[in-house]
Amino acid sequence: MSFNAKMYGLGSKRSIIREIFEYSKARAAEIGADNVFDFSLGNPSVPAPAVVNETIKELLDTEDSVLLHGYTSAPGDLGVRTVIASSIKERFGVDMTPNFIYMTCGAAASLTSCLRALVENEEDECIAFAPFFTEYRVFVENAGGKFVVSMPEKKTFSIDLADFESKLNEHTKAVIINSPNNPSGVVYSEKTIKGMCDILRQKEQEYGHEIYLIADEPYRELVYADVKVPYLMNYYDNTLVCYSYSKSLSLPGERIGYIAVNPKMIDAGSVYLAICGAARSLGFVCAPSMFQHVIARCHNAKVNVDAYKENRDLLYDNLTAYGYECVKPDGAFYLFVKSPVEGDAYAFYEKAKEKEILVVPCDDFGVKGYVRIAYCVDKRRVQNSLPAFQKLAEEYK
Ligand code: PLP
């Protein structure tokens, strides 16, 4: 072959989620969309706040078209970055400035840029906490590093600090943390975060080099109870935040987010420049211009999180009553359900499929024997699926 076999491998192997999505479309054509209970995709089901569309119209009507659609500076428009920096300062008390903000095409571009900026050679290791967003493995390996998994506490799916400590070594370059979590919906508590940061600081001292914490935060605003999502820069200096508006403003197709480097980080300015270089090398310069301006005006807007909460309550209450096992999610829009067939997510997935329920088997998320239910769907779909979930549970009894 005269092209990159690794890339061919990535491109030709369709993800299970995409596969289910294609199946769902074909099945809907056969039996009607209302009869297929597709819970596979993490695509927000609540619309973007009205102010987003109003702002787009206003921008189109009032702004200079050439400027609005033109290139911004590579890290993003200075005015936009200033608004975001002020918002971070106001919300979290971090002394953020625009020269530590880099606008990106969503969390995926933020993560790949950060990893590319940090990983120096193939011995460098990046740890993720299972269960994890499957693309982390792809991103870390593509940055040239080694992907290492820290296993969770079995009952809570929180971080197992002892396991985490055992995975750190002199090669550890970065740790990726995602809370609220995809796929478990778990929000890591402040106590857990403090414990993790204490371990990191201790290990930095022991190994004599920085270990960077990459906080992947597309679900920060999607929390249901009165839970606090700790802002990691306030707990650990060497933190980079990868933020995205894909879920918080229901704009996944617009590809907009940012990287924020903690000003308190050792050599923060140089790390920021390495991110600029990494993003440049990956072609992630000048995030979508019009949406940068939309964000500057709408960053405080909120989607209707109550719609997700209603779905969460309906599913969690009913599924646990039928006998399914899962942790009650405090955030994001996923339910992580244990397969009634011990350790076999695929068997559960196949059996659910017979009842027209489409869920994602999660072995690739780092924990075997679970499926993910993405409840970012119309409430009617959740309601209509419940008898099928109940029948399925009965078949396992
Ligand atoms: N990180 C996590 C945990 C996600 O679930 C997703 C998308 O679902 C991403 C990153 C990528 O987000 P974006 O669409 O902003 O690139």
| pLDDT, tens digit, 9 for 90 and up, residues 208-263 | 999 999 999 999 999 998 899 999 999 999 999 999 999 999 999 999 999 999 99
pLDDT in tens, 65-118: 999 999 999 999 999 999 999 999 999 999 999 999 999 999 999 999 999 999
Cβ of 107 closer than 6 Å to ligand 1, yes or no, is yes
Q: What distance in Å separates the CA atoms of residue 50 and residue 236, rounded to the nearest whole number?
A: 36
Q: Please name the residue whose Cα sits nearest to atom 5 of ligand 1.
A: 182
257 Cβ below 6 A of ligand 1: yes
Ligand 1 centroid vs 131 CA: distance in angstroms? 14
CA 163 to chain centre: 22
* Average pLDDT value for the chain: 97
- The whole-angstrom separation of Cα 330 and Cα 184 is 9
Question: Which atom of ligand 1 lies nearest, measured to the CA of 110?
Answer: 16
Q: What is the Å distance from ligand 1's center to 107 Cα?
A: 5
Distance in angstroms (rounded) separating the CA atoms of residues 240 and 88? 13
18 alpha carbon to ligand 1 midpoint, in Å?
Answer: 15
User: Alpha-carbon distance 316 to 331, whole Å?
Assistant: 13
Mutate to test the pocket of ligand 1, among 135, 139, 360 (most ligand atoms within 8 A of CB): 135
Give the pairing of strands 257-261 and 101-104.
antiparallel
- What is the pLDDT averaged over residues 41-48? 96
pLDDT at 14 over 80: no
- 387 CA distance to ligand 1 centroid (A)? 31
- pLDDT, one tens digit per residue, over 270-328 is 999 999 999 999 999 999 999 999 999 999 999 999 999 999 999 999 999 999 999 99
Instruction: Give the mutation target among 134, 217, 244 for probing the ligand 1 site: most ligand atoms within 8 A of CB.
Output: 244
